[in-house]
Amino acid sequence: MIGFDTNILIRYITKDDHEQAQKAVKAIKSLTPSKKGFVCLAVIVECIWVLDSVYGQDRKTISEAVLKLTRSAKLVVQNSDEIETALSRCLSSEGAPWDLADAIISEVGQSFGCEATLTFDKKAAKLEGMRLFL
């Protein structure tokens, strides 16, 4: 198995740097169901942040890109079930102010048995599994 850093996946998704994008696509295409790639949770959260803050992509576009990764037979994505649940919740909540990364943080915390994840972020505190810490 080979791990992938955020910058490889960003090039693969956005194709904004032709040379690096070709290399990223080649690396992903070289994977097989028996020789998979690994994407850790931190990389997924970083990808969401970069696609939002640097590329200005909307929640639906970002979610679709991340879901393609979690559903790939060639990739093992850490906490993929929790990621998919969190993204589904965000997409089904029209107009909800929830940040995709916050939703994933909440969902992963719940999967580990946390009664709540404390936050100073008032928007994030509205998510199930999050609690405002004052």
CA 120 from centre of chain: 22
Question: Residues with Cβ < 8 Å from 113, sequence gap 6 or more?
Answer: none
pLDDT number for residue 93: 66
Same domain, yes or no, for 74 and 103?
A: no
Question: In the chain, pLDDT over 90 holds for what percent of residues?
Answer: 79
Same domain, yes or no, for 5 and 65?
A: yes
pLDDT number for residue 92: 77
Supply the range of the domain harboring residue 114: 94-134
Transcribe the chain into DSSP letters. -EE--HHHHHHHHH--SHHHHHHHHHHHHT-BTTB-EEE-HHHHHHHHHHHHHTT---HHHHHHHHHHHHT-TTEEETTHHHHHHHHHHHHHSTT----HHHHHHHHHHHHTT-S-EEES-TTGGGSTTEEE--
More confidently predicted of 122 and 38: 38
- Confirm whether 25 is domain-assigned: yes
- Confirm whether 109 is domain-assigned: yes
- Confirm whether 123 is domain-assigned: yes
- Confirm whether 103 is domain-assigned: yes
- Confirm whether 11 is domain-assigned: yes
- Confirm whether 108 is domain-assigned: yes
Q: What's the pTM?
A: 0.87
110 — pLDDT class (breaks 50, 70, 90): very high
Structure tokens at 102: 């916050």
- Confirm whether 59 is domain-assigned: yes
CA distance 71 to 61: 15
Strand duo 37-39 + 117-119: pairing? unpaired
Same domain, yes or no, for 42 and 99?
A: no
Is the pLDDT at 127 greater than 60? The verdict is yes
Same domain, yes or no, for 7 and 68?
A: yes
Domain count, the chain: 2
Same domain, yes or no, for 62 and 3?
A: yes
- Confirm whether 88 is domain-assigned: no
Task: Assess contact for 72 and 43: CB atoms under 8 A.
Answer: no
pLDDT tens for residues 48-100?
999 999 999 998 899 999 999 999 999 999 999 999 999 988 887 665 666 88
